[in-house]
Amino acid sequence: MTTRPYIIIISGLSGAGKTVALRALEDSGFFCADNLPPQLINDFVKISINHSKANKIGIGIDIREKEFLNELEGIVNASRKRYIMHKIFLEAGANDLIRRYKETRRPHPLDHLTDGDISKAIAMESKLLEPLREQADRIIDTSAMTPHQLRHHIISIFGDISVDVLKITLISFGFKYGIPQHLDMLFEARFLPNPHFIPELRALTGKDDKVKDFVLSDKSTTEFLGRIEGLVDFLIPEYIKEGRAYLTIGIGCTGGRHRSPAIIEWLYGVIIKHKVIVEVVHRDI
Protein backbone atom coordinates (compact mmCIF):
# COMPACT_ATOMS: atom_id res chain seq x y z
CA MET A 1 0.00 0.00 0.00
CA THR A 2 1.13 3.53 -0.78
CA THR A 3 1.10 6.47 1.59
CA ARG A 4 1.82 9.08 -1.07
CA PRO A 5 -0.50 12.12 -1.07
CA TYR A 6 -3.41 11.94 -3.52
CA ILE A 7 -3.72 14.90 -5.88
CA ILE A 8 -6.74 15.50 -8.12
CA ILE A 9 -6.46 18.14 -10.84
CA ILE A 10 -9.79 19.33 -12.26
CA SER A 11 -9.93 21.17 -15.56
CA GLY A 12 -12.45 21.40 -18.36
CA LEU A 13 -14.77 23.65 -20.29
CA SER A 14 -16.02 26.78 -18.59
CA GLY A 15 -19.54 26.15 -17.34
CA ALA A 16 -19.10 22.37 -17.17
CA GLY A 17 -19.03 22.33 -13.36
CA LYS A 18 -15.44 22.72 -12.20
CA THR A 19 -16.35 24.85 -9.19
CA VAL A 20 -19.08 22.39 -8.14
CA ALA A 21 -16.70 19.45 -8.47
CA LEU A 22 -13.97 21.21 -6.51
CA ARG A 23 -16.39 22.07 -3.70
CA ALA A 24 -17.53 18.45 -3.62
CA LEU A 25 -13.91 17.40 -3.14
CA GLU A 26 -13.53 19.98 -0.40
CA ASP A 27 -16.63 18.61 1.35
CA SER A 28 -15.04 15.16 1.08
CA GLY A 29 -11.94 16.16 3.01
CA PHE A 30 -9.70 17.43 0.21
CA PHE A 31 -7.63 20.58 0.68
CA CYS A 32 -8.47 22.59 -2.46
CA ALA A 33 -7.33 25.59 -4.47
CA ASP A 34 -8.93 27.00 -7.62
CA ASN A 35 -7.42 28.74 -10.66
CA LEU A 36 -3.89 27.74 -9.70
CA PRO A 37 -1.17 28.22 -12.35
CA PRO A 38 0.47 24.85 -13.09
CA GLN A 39 3.91 26.18 -12.08
CA LEU A 40 2.64 26.61 -8.52
CA ILE A 41 1.27 23.08 -8.15
CA ASN A 42 4.36 21.60 -6.52
CA ASP A 43 4.79 24.54 -4.14
CA PHE A 44 1.11 24.44 -3.18
CA VAL A 45 1.23 20.67 -2.56
CA LYS A 46 4.39 20.97 -0.44
CA ILE A 47 2.90 23.78 1.65
CA SER A 48 -0.38 21.89 2.04
CA ILE A 49 1.42 18.76 3.24
CA ASN A 50 3.90 20.50 5.53
CA HIS A 51 1.62 23.07 7.12
CA SER A 52 -1.91 21.68 6.77
CA LYS A 53 -0.93 18.00 7.02
CA ALA A 54 -3.20 17.41 4.00
CA ASN A 55 -2.80 14.13 2.15
CA LYS A 56 -5.73 14.65 -0.24
CA ILE A 57 -5.51 17.76 -2.39
CA GLY A 58 -7.75 19.14 -5.15
CA ILE A 59 -6.57 21.73 -7.67
CA GLY A 60 -8.69 23.59 -10.22
CA ILE A 61 -7.18 24.84 -13.46
CA ASP A 62 -9.07 26.63 -16.24
CA ILE A 63 -8.61 28.57 -19.45
CA ARG A 64 -7.67 31.73 -17.55
CA GLU A 65 -4.28 30.10 -17.06
CA LYS A 66 -3.93 29.37 -20.81
CA GLU A 67 -0.41 30.79 -21.00
CA PHE A 68 0.74 28.02 -18.64
CA LEU A 69 -1.37 25.06 -19.81
CA ASN A 70 1.28 23.70 -22.18
CA GLU A 71 3.52 23.10 -19.19
CA LEU A 72 0.93 21.15 -17.20
CA GLU A 73 1.69 17.69 -18.59
CA GLY A 74 5.41 17.91 -17.79
CA ILE A 75 4.70 19.21 -14.29
CA VAL A 76 2.20 16.43 -13.58
CA ASN A 77 4.44 13.69 -14.99
CA ALA A 78 7.32 14.86 -12.81
CA SER A 79 5.06 14.99 -9.76
CA ARG A 80 3.80 11.42 -10.25
CA LYS A 81 7.06 10.18 -8.75
CA ARG A 82 6.15 11.77 -5.41
CA TYR A 83 2.35 11.87 -5.47
CA ILE A 84 -0.63 9.95 -6.81
CA MET A 85 -1.83 12.30 -9.54
CA HIS A 86 -5.26 12.09 -11.18
CA LYS A 87 -6.57 14.47 -13.85
CA ILE A 88 -10.29 15.01 -14.40
CA PHE A 89 -11.67 16.86 -17.42
CA LEU A 90 -15.24 18.17 -17.27
CA GLU A 91 -17.18 18.86 -20.44
CA ALA A 92 -20.74 19.40 -21.66
CA GLY A 93 -22.51 19.89 -24.97
CA ALA A 94 -22.37 23.37 -26.52
CA ASN A 95 -26.14 23.85 -26.19
CA ASP A 96 -26.01 22.95 -22.51
CA LEU A 97 -23.13 25.34 -21.89
CA ILE A 98 -24.94 28.15 -23.72
CA ARG A 99 -28.07 27.53 -21.64
CA ARG A 100 -26.07 27.63 -18.40
CA TYR A 101 -24.40 30.91 -19.33
CA LYS A 102 -27.75 32.44 -20.22
CA GLU A 103 -29.21 31.30 -16.90
CA THR A 104 -26.32 32.69 -14.82
CA ARG A 105 -25.76 35.75 -17.05
CA ARG A 106 -22.04 35.42 -16.53
CA PRO A 107 -19.59 36.20 -19.34
CA HIS A 108 -17.46 33.41 -20.80
CA PRO A 109 -13.70 33.79 -19.99
CA LEU A 110 -12.99 34.14 -23.74
CA ASP A 111 -15.91 36.48 -24.35
CA HIS A 112 -13.59 39.41 -25.04
CA LEU A 113 -11.92 37.50 -27.88
CA THR A 114 -15.13 36.65 -29.70
CA ASP A 115 -17.03 39.96 -29.49
CA GLY A 116 -19.50 38.41 -27.09
CA ASP A 117 -20.36 35.43 -29.32
CA ILE A 118 -20.79 32.64 -26.75
CA SER A 119 -20.84 29.87 -29.40
CA LYS A 120 -17.49 31.00 -30.80
CA ALA A 121 -16.04 31.32 -27.29
CA ILE A 122 -17.04 27.74 -26.44
CA ALA A 123 -15.60 26.43 -29.72
CA MET A 124 -12.35 28.34 -29.15
CA GLU A 125 -12.02 27.06 -25.60
CA SER A 126 -12.70 23.46 -26.70
CA LYS A 127 -9.85 23.69 -29.20
CA LEU A 128 -7.46 25.29 -26.72
CA LEU A 129 -8.20 22.66 -24.05
CA GLU A 130 -8.08 19.63 -26.35
CA PRO A 131 -4.55 18.67 -25.14
CA LEU A 132 -5.80 18.65 -21.53
CA ARG A 133 -8.74 16.49 -22.54
CA GLU A 134 -6.41 13.99 -24.22
CA GLN A 135 -4.20 13.83 -21.12
CA ALA A 136 -7.10 13.34 -18.69
CA ASP A 137 -7.40 10.16 -16.63
CA ARG A 138 -11.18 10.60 -16.54
CA ILE A 139 -13.57 12.64 -18.68
CA ILE A 140 -16.94 13.50 -17.15
CA ASP A 141 -19.76 14.72 -19.38
CA THR A 142 -22.02 16.89 -17.22
CA SER A 143 -24.56 17.70 -19.96
CA ALA A 144 -27.40 15.79 -18.29
CA MET A 145 -26.33 16.56 -14.71
CA THR A 146 -27.67 19.18 -12.34
CA PRO A 147 -25.11 20.72 -9.96
CA HIS A 148 -26.51 18.46 -7.22
CA GLN A 149 -26.08 15.36 -9.39
CA LEU A 150 -22.52 16.33 -10.30
CA ARG A 151 -21.69 16.89 -6.65
CA HIS A 152 -23.14 13.49 -5.75
CA HIS A 153 -21.21 11.87 -8.60
CA ILE A 154 -17.87 13.34 -7.49
CA ILE A 155 -18.47 12.38 -3.87
CA SER A 156 -19.54 8.85 -4.84
CA ILE A 157 -16.20 8.36 -6.63
CA PHE A 158 -13.78 10.26 -4.42
CA GLY A 159 -15.67 10.83 -1.18
CA ASP A 160 -14.23 7.95 0.81
CA ILE A 161 -10.93 7.62 -1.01
CA SER A 162 -8.10 6.61 1.23
CA VAL A 163 -4.53 7.04 0.08
CA ASP A 164 -3.95 3.53 1.40
CA VAL A 165 -7.01 1.65 0.12
CA LEU A 166 -8.39 0.93 -3.34
CA LYS A 167 -12.13 1.56 -3.69
CA ILE A 168 -13.94 -0.64 -6.24
CA THR A 169 -17.47 0.07 -7.43
CA LEU A 170 -19.39 -2.80 -9.05
CA ILE A 171 -22.34 -1.79 -11.24
CA SER A 172 -24.96 -4.03 -12.83
CA PHE A 173 -27.06 -2.46 -15.59
CA GLY A 174 -29.26 -3.08 -18.61
CA PHE A 175 -27.94 -2.15 -22.03
CA LYS A 176 -31.41 -1.11 -23.16
CA TYR A 177 -31.27 1.72 -20.61
CA GLY A 178 -27.81 2.86 -21.68
CA ILE A 179 -24.25 2.14 -20.56
CA PRO A 180 -23.21 3.87 -17.31
CA GLN A 181 -20.68 6.62 -17.79
CA HIS A 182 -17.18 6.45 -16.38
CA LEU A 183 -16.70 2.68 -16.31
CA ASP A 184 -13.08 1.53 -16.15
CA MET A 185 -13.94 -2.05 -17.10
CA LEU A 186 -17.04 -3.39 -18.87
CA PHE A 187 -18.23 -6.98 -19.31
CA GLU A 188 -21.28 -8.07 -21.30
CA ALA A 189 -23.51 -10.93 -20.09
CA ARG A 190 -26.21 -10.88 -22.77
CA PHE A 191 -24.96 -14.14 -24.27
CA LEU A 192 -25.90 -16.10 -21.12
CA PRO A 193 -29.27 -17.88 -20.65
CA ASN A 194 -31.90 -15.33 -19.65
CA PRO A 195 -34.07 -15.97 -16.55
CA HIS A 196 -36.57 -13.49 -17.96
CA PHE A 197 -37.95 -16.30 -20.13
CA ILE A 198 -38.44 -18.64 -17.17
CA PRO A 199 -41.93 -17.86 -15.79
CA GLU A 200 -41.11 -18.65 -12.17
CA LEU A 201 -37.94 -16.48 -12.29
CA ARG A 202 -39.19 -13.48 -14.27
CA ALA A 203 -40.51 -11.55 -11.28
CA LEU A 204 -37.36 -12.17 -9.25
CA THR A 205 -33.97 -10.42 -9.54
CA GLY A 206 -30.33 -11.43 -9.64
CA LYS A 207 -30.18 -10.84 -5.89
CA ASP A 208 -32.51 -13.82 -5.31
CA ASP A 209 -30.95 -17.24 -4.78
CA LYS A 210 -33.11 -18.98 -7.42
CA VAL A 211 -31.95 -16.58 -10.11
CA LYS A 212 -28.33 -16.79 -8.95
CA ASP A 213 -28.46 -20.57 -9.09
CA PHE A 214 -29.94 -20.51 -12.60
CA VAL A 215 -27.37 -18.04 -13.95
CA LEU A 216 -24.27 -19.30 -12.19
CA SER A 217 -24.87 -23.01 -12.86
CA ASP A 218 -24.73 -22.61 -16.64
CA LYS A 219 -21.59 -24.00 -18.28
CA SER A 220 -20.98 -20.81 -20.27
CA THR A 221 -21.31 -18.75 -17.11
CA THR A 222 -18.76 -20.92 -15.30
CA GLU A 223 -16.25 -20.35 -18.10
CA PHE A 224 -17.05 -16.62 -18.22
CA LEU A 225 -16.66 -16.15 -14.47
CA GLY A 226 -13.40 -18.09 -14.38
CA ARG A 227 -11.89 -15.73 -16.90
CA ILE A 228 -13.15 -12.64 -15.06
CA GLU A 229 -11.81 -13.96 -11.75
CA GLY A 230 -8.38 -14.58 -13.21
CA LEU A 231 -8.31 -11.10 -14.70
CA VAL A 232 -9.35 -9.20 -11.56
CA ASP A 233 -7.09 -11.31 -9.34
CA PHE A 234 -4.19 -10.22 -11.53
CA LEU A 235 -5.20 -6.59 -12.00
CA ILE A 236 -6.20 -5.56 -8.47
CA PRO A 237 -2.75 -6.09 -6.88
CA GLU A 238 -1.21 -4.26 -9.84
CA TYR A 239 -3.59 -1.31 -9.40
CA ILE A 240 -2.84 -1.20 -5.68
CA LYS A 241 0.89 -1.27 -6.40
CA GLU A 242 0.43 1.63 -8.83
CA GLY A 243 -1.34 3.63 -6.12
CA ARG A 244 -4.71 3.72 -7.85
CA ALA A 245 -7.50 4.93 -5.57
CA TYR A 246 -10.63 3.70 -7.35
CA LEU A 247 -11.86 1.28 -10.01
CA THR A 248 -15.35 0.98 -11.51
CA ILE A 249 -16.43 -2.31 -13.06
CA GLY A 250 -19.69 -2.70 -14.95
CA ILE A 251 -21.50 -5.85 -16.03
CA GLY A 252 -24.47 -5.50 -18.34
CA CYS A 253 -27.25 -7.69 -19.63
CA THR A 254 -30.35 -6.75 -21.61
CA GLY A 255 -32.54 -5.34 -18.84
CA GLY A 256 -30.14 -5.26 -15.90
CA ARG A 257 -32.51 -7.25 -13.70
CA HIS A 258 -31.32 -10.88 -13.67
CA ARG A 259 -27.98 -11.91 -15.19
CA SER A 260 -25.79 -8.88 -14.51
CA PRO A 261 -26.94 -8.46 -10.85
CA ALA A 262 -26.33 -12.17 -10.21
CA ILE A 263 -22.80 -11.90 -11.60
CA ILE A 264 -22.09 -8.67 -9.68
CA GLU A 265 -23.17 -10.39 -6.45
CA TRP A 266 -20.76 -13.23 -7.25
CA LEU A 267 -17.97 -10.80 -8.21
CA TYR A 268 -18.30 -9.02 -4.86
CA GLY A 269 -17.25 -12.24 -3.11
CA VAL A 270 -14.22 -12.56 -5.39
CA ILE A 271 -13.02 -8.97 -5.01
CA ILE A 272 -13.58 -8.49 -1.28
CA LYS A 273 -10.82 -11.05 -0.63
CA HIS A 274 -8.30 -8.45 -1.77
CA LYS A 275 -8.97 -6.25 1.27
CA VAL A 276 -10.33 -3.34 -0.73
CA ILE A 277 -13.41 -1.17 -0.26
CA VAL A 278 -16.25 -2.52 -2.42
CA GLU A 279 -19.52 -0.79 -3.27
CA VAL A 280 -22.29 -2.61 -5.18
CA VAL A 281 -24.79 -0.71 -7.32
CA HIS A 282 -27.68 -2.47 -9.12
CA ARG A 283 -28.68 0.43 -11.33
CA ASP A 284 -31.74 -1.02 -13.01
CA ILE A 285 -33.38 -3.10 -10.30
- C-alpha 87/C-alpha 7 separation (Å) is 8
Sign of the Cα pseudo-torsion (84, 85, 86, 88, in order): positive
128 and 249 belong to one structural domain: no
Question: Same domain, yes or no, for 89 and 198?
Answer: no
Residue 2 has a pLDDT of 45
| 137 shares its domain with 208 | no
Q: In the β-sheet with 185-188, what is the strand arrangement from edge to edge?
A: 185-188, 246-253, 167-174, 277-282
For the segment 148-175, what is each residue's pLDDT rounded down to a tens digit?
889 888 888 887 666 567 889 999 999 9
- Contact by Cβ (8 Å): 15, 101: yes
Does 104 share its domain with 173?
Answer: no
Tell me the pairing of strands 31-33 and 56-60: parallel
Task: Encode pLDDT of 48-100 as tens digits.
Answer: 888 767 788 999 987 766 666 667 777 777 777 788 888 899 999 999 999 98
Answer whether residue 1 is part of any domain. Answer: no
pTM for the predicted model, two decimal places: 0.66
Instruction: Give me the pLDDT at residue 245, please.
Output: 75
Give how many domains the chain has, as a whole number.
Answer: 2
**Rounded distance, CA 63 to CA 43, Å?**
21
* pLDDT given for residue 1 in this prediction: 42
Q: How far is CA 216 from CA 193, 251, 283, in A?
A: 10, 14, 20
Query: If DSSP codes are grouped into helix, strand and coil, which group holds residue 121?
Result: helix
Q: Which of 140, 158, 176 is at the close of a domain?
A: 158
Tell me: do 74 and 145 sit in the same domain. yes
Query: Domain containing 72 — which CATH number?
Result: 3.40.50.300
Q: Once rounded to an integer, what is the mean pLDDT over residues 176-183?
A: 87
186 and 150 both lie in a single domain: no
106 and 194 both lie in a single domain:
no
Residue 174 forms beta bridges with which residues?
A: 253
**pLDDT averaged over the chain?**
88
Q: Is residue 126 located within the same domain as residue 24?
A: yes
Nearest to 56 by CA among 35, 88, 81, 85: 85
Q: Residue 196 belongs to what domain range?
A: 167-282
> Is residue 221 pLDDT above 90, yes or no?
yes
Mean pLDDT value of segment 220-228: 95
If asked whether residues 116 and 28 sit together in one domain, one would say yes
221 and 105 co-located in one domain: no
- In this structure, is residue 133 part of a structural domain? yes
Residue 218 near residue 278 (C-beta atoms within 8 A): no
> Of 102, 137, 158, which marks where a domain is finished?
158
Q: Is 83 in contact with 45 (CB distance < 8 Å)?
A: yes
Q: Residue 201: is its pLDDT beyond 80?
A: yes
For residue 244, list its beta bridge partners. Answer: none
Pick the last residue of a domain from 112, 140, 158.
158
Same domain, 152 and 171: no
